[in-house]
Amino acid sequence: MSKTILLVDDSPNEMKLMQAALADSGYIIVTATDGEQAIEQAMQHRPDLVLLDVVLPKKNGYQVCRHLKNTSETSSAKVILVTSKNQPSDRFWGMKQGADEYIVKPYVAQDLLATIQRAL
């Protein structure tokens, strides 16, 4: 059975990059462009993994991550924060919210896929 991945980013270009990296992977892809939509999609589709930007409209990635990890229906989803926030404090805060991995943009597609495979 294919794994479901929820992509969350408000940048159409970043969304395209993630989709391109995952194009031939066989994963089922679901998308959201803001924090509230991300939570709705996660509740509806129960993804195995979430690629989550931190800087988002409505709710930021930290808030979304915390919500997903503290909600029984979505708590088992792996969360990989994919963000341009590259300070050690950003990474620390992201992991503290329950993120499983933290990737800084710009990233190499191979690194993203390797991180996804590790998480799943």
Give the model confidence (pLDDT) of 17-70 as tens digits.
999 999 888 999 999 999 999 999 999 999 999 999 999 999 999 999 999 999
* pTM for the predicted model, two decimal places: 0.96
Residue 1 has pLDDT above 80, yes or no: no
For the chain, how many structural domains are there in total? 1
DSSP conformation class of 6: E
Question: In the predicted model, what is the mean pLDDT of residues 77-95?
Answer: 96
Read off the CATH number of the domain in which 40 is found: 3.40.50.2300
- Per residue, what are the HEC states of 67-92? HHHCCCCCCCCEEEEEECCCCHHHHH
- The residue to which tokens 């991995």 are assigned: 101
Q: Residue 49 sits in which domain range?
A: 4-119
**CA dist., res. 79 & res. 7, Å (int):** 10
